[in-house]
Structure 1
Amino acid sequence: MRILSLRLIVALVFGVTLVSVVSSWYQVRTTKDALRLDLERKAETFSDSLAVIPEPYLQRGDIAGLLATLHRFDGRDHLIGTTVYDRNGFILANTGNIRSLTRTTPQIIRDAIARNSTETNYMRSGFRRLYIVAAPIPAATEDMAGGILVVYDTDYIRAQVFHIWIQAFAHIALQVLVIVAITLLIVRWSLVGPIARAAEWMKRLRTDRHAQPPSPKDLDFLSSLAKEVAPLAESMRQARAAAEIEASLRNRNESVWTAQRLADHVRNKLGGSNLFVVSNREPYIHSRQDGAIKVTIPASGLVTAIEPILCACNGTWIAQGSGNADREVVDSHDCLQVPPEDPKYTLRRVWLTKEEEEGYYYGFANEGLWPLCHMAHTRPVFRTSDWSYYNEVNARFADALVEQIADEQAPVVLIQDYHFALLPRMIKERLPHARVAIFWHIPWPNPESFSICPWQQELLDGLLGADLIGFHVQAHCNNFLNTVDRVLEAQVDWERFSVRHKNHWSSVLPFPISVDFLEQGTVKTDSNTAEERSQLIAELGIETTYLGVGVDRLDYTKGIVERFLAVESFLERHPRYQGRFTFIQIGAPTRSNIPQYANFQRDVENEAARINERFGRGRWKPIVLLSRQHSHKEVERYYRLAHLCMVTSLHDGMNLVSKEFIATRDDLRGVLILSLFTGASRELRDAIIVNPYDTEATGEAIAQALEMDVSEIADRMQRMRNAVSDHNIYWWAGNLIGDLCDLRLSRNTVLKTTIDVTRRAS
């Protein structure tokens, strides 16, 4: 660092000196030229005026009078002296100390007389620098009477220039001293300090698994480096934490699923085969903002679970290109390598027109299948045009997938969600040697509800092209099998939960999805949490004591209005909490171009306003509605500081908000109020389970949560954290892909391996 500082100082001194010298030279040159120009102008004017004086004196022969007149001008404006010559070059009168110049007739006076014009010249006399003006003396009767020589001293110009150089060097010296001092301070504060903090951070990374990165402000200009190091640091932290947990659990003959274990497990299961993932949403979105292309990663547990596998096996992810700069970064085959910072697998983008997206995604998928599968009392809308687009888009993805698979010997295909119900059959017919699985992330309704769909047979036939069909819970598997049994000519094996259709076996199994979970190992003190909570309350501009939180998309299946009614009932029945309890609803707008969603968003806003108007007073509000997208980091803060979290879905496949809340609460505080209509309620038995349609009972659950003993809260939270830790997102992906790879394929049928269905059903 000392060598760097010395080099920096030397470079700055040299640069400042060079710039200052050049600047001073220019100033000197400009000043010198200005002084000379001023002298020349004055001298010429004065000599012209002086040239008319001698002629009358010469006519009278009054040399003494001429000398007296000329002496009056001695010393004016650096004038040394004057000499009057006749037209033959003989001296008639002489003033001042210029005898060395007038011993002989200067050539300049001869030229002035001969040419009848004023002549000027700079010259040296000994150590003196002079400026000479020679002008002809006009005569009354002849052309001229002679000439006059005017001599000026120019040493004052040299003195002025020298003075400027002295000042310049003084300024240079002062500037150098100031700049060196400032540089040393900057190096110490903005270079040495950040480097020291970065070094300390890296040291803590090496020795402490809980090292927190300094803020960008602390790192100053090293923020770019910090951005690059932060992901590496987080990977190190997670790897170290996972290794410690696994080592701890290994002592108890237990194990935990981590990204590395998942990657190793699936790599072994694939046995050299490649994995191909299909989803509607892409893992990386390229958008042009402020003239530059920026990459965003959608908040998705699916990306967390699947990406480590694709990185491990150099797989391919096929998804719709949705960013406004997505086309700018792909190659001629619509592919690019991701992750951007360390490319390890291929992202293949499929392009849809606006009409296709409206019909396939917003139309059939979200106005048809979504309300059909969620028993939330919203009527499904089925249009023939939407169904046509749904077929076209599924076929488009099938083409892209077949193109990517090419000559793969044993490809493994994992299809995600209800957007691609027809895709498994399309793939299986064209690539019968491929192992194909589809995971249905939303509930599957009972046969009576599903029979509403005009194309139920086609959807079921498409799904049964898969070798493995996964749902969150066993109840959804049962509903699916019952639907198949009623609608299709198919053989349903209830013992092994499988279906034989068109001479092809499909296993139907539960795989409850989860979240990334690593033990944090540090428990925040109550005082720290209380201080952070007070800061958050101040930022919200309210006054309150207790906080509840809900995190949802503004979707009619999430029970947000019912949740608000429960808060209203709670405040009615427990008035002592009025002015002390505030419920924060984080509601991300979604699918706003669908009328049901736009209407629902207005209903949520109106209900929150009504309750606030009824109970609100001063700065206290019973409900704070935050209708915007929040990052995962922002949401975690609310999870961590809330006294309770409400998940009151009217119908949900799993609902990961409940598990995210639990994973965040390493302080073993906070109470989860959970709808019995979520898949998560099968696993998280220590939550307060409620029926969201019973608003009074749900309101009483709020009171129970706020008044629960601290030790009971900790016990409940610890048990739920154990459940989420044991069955995290990596466990989900490992089991799903592992079971798919364990299926042995033949030409006409699938010979299934024995799978422990009871384990998953429990």
Structure 2
Amino acid sequence: MTDYGAGLLWVLILASFGLSALAVFFSISRQRRSHPPTVAHPAGEDVTAEAARKIIREFEKNGQSADAALVTWSPETLRKILADDLPEAQVIVVSNREPYIHNVSGNGVELLVPASGLVSALEPITRACAGTWIAYGGGTADRLMVDKDDRVQVPPGNPSYTLRRVWLTEEEHQGYYLGFANEGLWPLCHIAFTRPIFRASDWEAYEAVNRKFADTVVAEARNERPIVLVQDYHFALLPRMIRERLPEAIVITFWHIPWPNSEVYSICPWRERILEGLLGSSIIGFHTQFHANNFTESVDRFLESRIERADAAISYGGQTTLVHAYPISIEWPADLLARLPDVDDCRARLRDRFGLKADVKLGVGVERLDYTKGILDRFQALDELFKRYPEWIGKLVFLQIAAPSRGTLPAYKLLHDECHRYAEELNERYGSDGYKPVIMVAEHHTQEQVYEIYRASDICMVTSLHDGMNLVAKEFVAARDDEQGVLMLSTFAGASRELLEALIVNPYDAAMMSETLLQALTMTPDEQRERMRPMRQMVRDNNVYRWAGSMLLDAARLRKRGDLDRATGTAERQPPSIDNVVSMFERKRVAM
């Protein structure tokens, strides 16, 4: 080895040791609310590989991982990670839904910020990273607002990143989005007993649109080494397509919905193609370890691959993909809460809006109108409550905010009709002059309007039949700075693994839900506070920046390892856990 090559190698090794130390302190815990022992780390002190390993062993001895509780997660934290560990890296986000939609209105052009969990999670990340967001431009005025390269700077009034819009024909949107993604993959991945529909023409459109987005990623990449964050089930083929064109890119795919067990997944006619596409990723993330395990089992069943379960890694086609759980969260809404009226004013405004009496208890549900959300099931629980405890008739009102969604699909049309019919039946059965037990509002609300509803309510019901995470539960908790209110949360939502102080329910059991609803209605303010306080702390600490930071730190480890392999002319395939990276660096030093 030349002196120049040896010097370069030492620089990379020393930089990587620093990264290993950072990883120890900034690694994301896979456990809820862990409290690791404090480790002395004086500013400027060199951290050797043995010291890093000793720290890790100390955490493991206590049954914990090196935790990021030592860090206050914020936009500044992400920017520091990018500057220190991914210098000059371009962050590209890819999703079907765009964060800002321009529509033609009577007054010119109207700006719409969609009420989407994905958007609310990713928008602050893209702002912090000054990245590029690639999305389908579906607004009626979207083409009017872009430049010659189909780009627009956002947010309006204070631009901090670029939105690159991709145009689809009506046929492409029908086949790729409404067809394969939402009539095929969506019901396949959710246990809601709606039969998936797979059509060859939809698959062809899905493949073509994924290719179109891959072309756009390549066009937007400033070099061959971007960090690409691929979002959700709309783009299962995209990671492999990007890898073919940009082999040095770090591709992180996050699957926002559940992943089914391998038997259910086998229904999909293109099951191998989807798995191969996803395994083009450097990292694949899920909300829960359970869904990550289901994915790994599907790969094990349908593809010839090497699976390292202890290291959460899959080797396929000469490439290793990490499969991890990264529970998504929200941006802590401190600025939003500062702008909102206090809780009493929110209650007064909402009661005036719907003509509610001051002494009635208010339950709320907030979501898209979707058959996975359990709206009909909570109506059944309300019906059961009134049958068992008729004294609550006239004293409880349930407000259901159900934003229209995918209304052209038959399953959604049917759900719309069933929900409205059931609500009318409950109002006829239990209502009276000036009192309706159910108020159904099928319209979109802004984030501020939704938070006012959270603050005005006594109970928030999140009764998903199946959900990857469900950010409504976390938003409700964050909105309650009065530390009051009760969260009823489905055991089949990923959020139930974190918000343990919620009242956990089985949405398929109407009798059980009615009893839990009674418990919520009669809960004392002290108990509400005891439950709400730790949930708020959990959501505040495990915020969306921690979610993104954990993935970026894993990306940084992969990039450093790849740089070291290229510098030494090696191509080791050992799964890149922290211990493996540290031990690899030690072997390189001994070899020299």
Given the two structures, how large is their TM-score scaled by the length of structure 1?
Answer: 0.63
The answer as to 2:569 corresponding to 1:753 is no
Q: Give the SS at the match of 2:310.
A: coil
Alpha-carbon distance in 2 for matches of 1:755, 1:620: 60
1:511, 1:732 within 8 Å by CA — same for their partners in 2?
yes
Alpha-carbon distance in 1 for matches of 2:107, 2:349: 36
Q: Give the SS at the match of 1:495.
A: helix
Q: Of 348, 351, 370, which residue of structure 2 is paired with 1:555?
A: 370
Amino acid at match of 1:482: E
Alpha-carbon distance in 2 for matches of 1:610, 1:674: 25
Alpha-carbon distance in 1 for matches of 2:210, 2:75: 30
Q: Of 198, 212, 216, which residue of structure 2 is paired with 1:382?
A: 198
Deviation of the 1:703 alpha carbon: 0.5
Deviation of the 1:657 alpha carbon: 0.6
Deviations 1:342-397 (A, max 9, x none): 33332221110000000000000000000000010000000000000000000001
**Matching residue of 2:355:** 541
1:659, 1:724 within 8 Å by CA — same for their partners in 2?
yes
| Mapping 1:501-540, distance limit 5 Å | 501-518=316-333, 529-530=343-344, 532-540=346-354
The answer as to 2:82 corresponding to 1:259 is no
Q: Over alpha carbons, which structure has the higher Rg? A: 1
Q: Give the SS at the match of 2:104.
A: strand
| Mapping 1:343-358, distance limit 5 Å | 343-358=159-174
Alpha-carbon distance in 2 for matches of 1:615, 1:702: 17
The answer as to 2:184 corresponding to 1:361 is no
Deviation of the 1:273 alpha carbon: 1.4
Alpha-carbon distance in 1 for matches of 2:433, 2:360: 14
Amino acid at match of 1:704: Q
Alpha-carbon distance in 1 for matches of 2:200, 2:494: 32
Alpha-carbon distance in 1 for matches of 2:425, 2:392: 18
Alpha-carbon distance in 2 for matches of 1:419, 1:340: 27
Alpha-carbon distance in 2 for matches of 1:620, 1:355: 46
Q: Give the SS at the match of 1:379.
A: coil
Alpha-carbon distance in 1 for matches of 2:194, 2:239: 28
Amino acid at match of 1:633: E
Q: Of 208, 211, 226, which residue of structure 2 is paired with 1:392?
A: 208
* Distance change in 2, residues 1:352/1:519 (3 Å): closer
Deviates more, 1:655-664 or 1:700-709: 700-709
Alpha-carbon distance in 1 for matches of 2:555, 2:69: 26
1:668, 1:713 within 8 Å by CA — same for their partners in 2?
yes
Deviation of the 1:317 alpha carbon: 1.4
Deviations 1:199-239 (A, max 9, x none): xxxxxxxxxxxxxxxxxxxxxxxxxxxxxxxxxxxxxxxxx
Amino acid at match of 2:347: R
The answer as to 2:397 corresponding to 1:582 is yes
Q: Of 320, 326, 339, which residue of structure 1 is paired with 2:136?
A: 320
Higher relative contact order (CA 8 A, sep 6+): 2
The answer as to 2:508 corresponding to 1:685 is no
**Matching residue of 2:100:** 284
Deviation of the 1:496 alpha carbon: 0.8
Amino acid at match of 1:347: L
Amino acid at match of 1:536: L
Deviation of the 1:700 alpha carbon: 0.5
Query: Where in structure 2 are there 5+ consecutive unaligned residues?
Result: 1-67, 581-592
* Distance change in 2, residues 1:752/1:295 (3 Å): farther
Residue correspondences, number: 503
* Distance change in 2, residues 1:755/1:578 (3 Å): farther
The answer as to 2:226 corresponding to 1:423 is no
The answer as to 2:474 corresponding to 1:659 is yes
The answer as to 2:110 corresponding to 1:294 is yes
**Matching residue of 1:448:** 263
Deviation of the 1:300 alpha carbon: 3.8
**Matching residue of 1:486:** 301
Alpha-carbon distance in 1 for matches of 2:414, 2:457: 29
The answer as to 2:429 corresponding to 1:606 is no
**Matching residue of 1:412:** 227
Deviates more, 1:304-313 or 1:509-518: 304-313
Deviations 1:271-298 (A, max 9, x none): 1111111111112222222352333322
Q: Of 218, 235, 239, which residue of structure 2 is paired with 1:402?
A: 218
Alpha-carbon distance in 1 for matches of 2:347, 2:227: 48
**Matching residue of 1:336:** 152
Deviation of the 1:305 alpha carbon: 4.4
Alpha-carbon distance in 2 for matches of 1:463, 1:545: 50
* Distance change in 2, residues 1:529/1:302 (3 Å): closer
Alpha-carbon distance in 2 for matches of 1:302, 1:623: 28
| Mapping 1:91-170, distance limit 5 Å | none
Q: Of 270, 276, 281, which residue of structure 1 is paired with 2:86?
A: 270
Deviation of the 1:532 alpha carbon: 4.5
* Distance change in 2, residues 1:307/1:672 (3 Å): closer
Deviation of the 1:430 alpha carbon: 1.5
**Matching residue of 2:438:** 623
Q: Of 280, 283, 293, which residue of structure 2 is paired with 1:465?
A: 280
Deviation of the 1:742 alpha carbon: 1.7
Amino acid at match of 2:220: Q
Q: Give the SS at the match of 1:639.
A: helix
Deviation of the 1:571 alpha carbon: 1.2
Amino acid at match of 1:403: A
Q: Give the SS at the match of 1:333.
A: coil
Amino acid at match of 1:373: C
Amino acid at match of 1:428: R
Q: Give the SS at the match of 1:672.
A: strand
Deviation of the 1:523 alpha carbon: 11
Alpha-carbon distance in 2 for matches of 1:518, 1:673: 21
Deviation of the 1:314 alpha carbon: 4.0
Alpha-carbon distance in 2 for matches of 1:542, 1:641: 12
Alpha-carbon distance in 1 for matches of 2:407, 2:526: 43
Deviations 1:402-441 (A, max 9, x none): 11215x1421111000000000001111111111110000
Alpha-carbon distance in 2 for matches of 1:336, 1:627: 31
Alpha-carbon distance in 1 for matches of 2:443, 2:352: 19
Q: Give the SS at the match of 2:269.
A: coil
* Distance change in 2, residues 1:260/1:433 (3 Å): same
**Matching residue of 2:540:** 725
2:214, 2:238 within 8 Å by CA — same for their partners in 1?
yes
* Distance change in 2, residues 1:379/1:434 (3 Å): same
Given the two structures, how large is their TM-score scaled by the length of structure 2?
Answer: 0.81
Identity of aligned residues (%): 49
Query: Where in structure 1 are there 5+ consecutive unaligned residues?
Result: 1-251, 758-762
Aligned CA-pair RMSD:
2.4
1:263, 1:308 within 8 Å by CA — same for their partners in 2?
no
Deviation of the 1:622 alpha carbon: 1.3
Alpha-carbon distance in 2 for matches of 1:646, 1:550: 5
The answer as to 2:536 corresponding to 1:713 is no
* Distance change in 2, residues 1:316/1:530 (3 Å): closer
2:347, 2:455 within 8 Å by CA — same for their partners in 1?
no
Deviation of the 1:565 alpha carbon: 0.3
Q: Of 370, 385, 389, which residue of structure 2 is paired with 1:570?
A: 385
Alpha-carbon distance in 2 for matches of 1:615, 1:286: 43
Amino acid at match of 1:405: A
**Matching residue of 1:136:** none
Deviations 1:611-643 (A, max 9, x none): 111111111111111111111111111110111
